[in-house]
Amino acid sequence: MLKITKNVSEANLITHGSKFHADDVFSTAFMSLIIENPVVCRVNNIDFSVGEDVIIYDIGFGEFDHHQKEFDLRHDSGVKYASFGLLFKKYGLDYLNKINPKYSDVVFSMIEHDLIESIDAIDNGDFPVIDTPYNYKSLDSIIGDFNACWNEDIDNDNCFMRAVVVAEMIFLSVVKKCFAKAEAKEIVEDAIDASSNHIMYLSEYMPFKDFVISSSNPKALDILFCITPSSRGGYNVHTIPIEKNTHLTRCDLPSSWGGLCDKELQDVSGVESATFCHLSLFLGACGTLDDAYKMARLAIEKKNNFE
| Per-residue confidence (pLDDT) for residue 48, from 0 to 100 | 87
Using CA atoms, how far residue 3 sits from 32, 132, 158, 241, 253, in Å, is 9, 40, 11, 45, 54
Give the model confidence (pLDDT) of 91-142 as tens digits. Answer: 999 999 999 999 999 999 999 999 999 999 999 999 988 888 999 899 999 9
**pLDDT tens digits along 148-184:** 999 999 999 999 999 999 999 999 999 999 999 999 9
What does pTM read for this prediction?
Answer: 0.88
- Rounded to an integer, the average pLDDT of 241-260 is 94
On the question of pLDDT at 307 being above 60, the answer is no
Residues 18-54 have pLDDT tens digits of 999 999 999 999 999 999 999 999 999 998 888 889 9
Pairing of strands 274-277, 225-229: unpaired
When pLDDT is cut at 50, 70 and 90, the band that residue 303 belongs to is confident
Q: Mind listing the pLDDT tens digit for each residue in 200-248?
A: 999 999 999 999 999 999 999 999 999 999 999 999 999 999 998 888 9
pLDDT tens by residue, 55-77: 999 999 999 999 999 999 999 99
CB 110 within 8 A of CB 13: no
Residue range 256-261: average pLDDT?
97
For residue range 164-174, list pLDDT tens digits in order.
999 999 999 99
Residues 145/3, Cβ–Cβ less than 8 Å: no
Residue 57 CB contacts under 8 Å (≥ 6 apart), including other chains: 13, 14, 15, 24, 27, 31, 64, 65, 83, 86, 87
pLDDT at 246: 87
- Crossing angle of helices 156-194/22-34, nearest 10°? 80
Hey, how many other C-beta atoms are within 10 angstroms of the C-beta on 2?
18
**CB distance 111 to 175 below 8 Å:** yes
* Confidence bin at 306 (pLDDT 50/70/90): low
Dihedral of alpha carbons 250, 255, 261, 267, sign: negative
Nearest residue to 84 (alpha-carbon basis) of 18, 173, 24:
24
- pLDDT value at position 131? 87
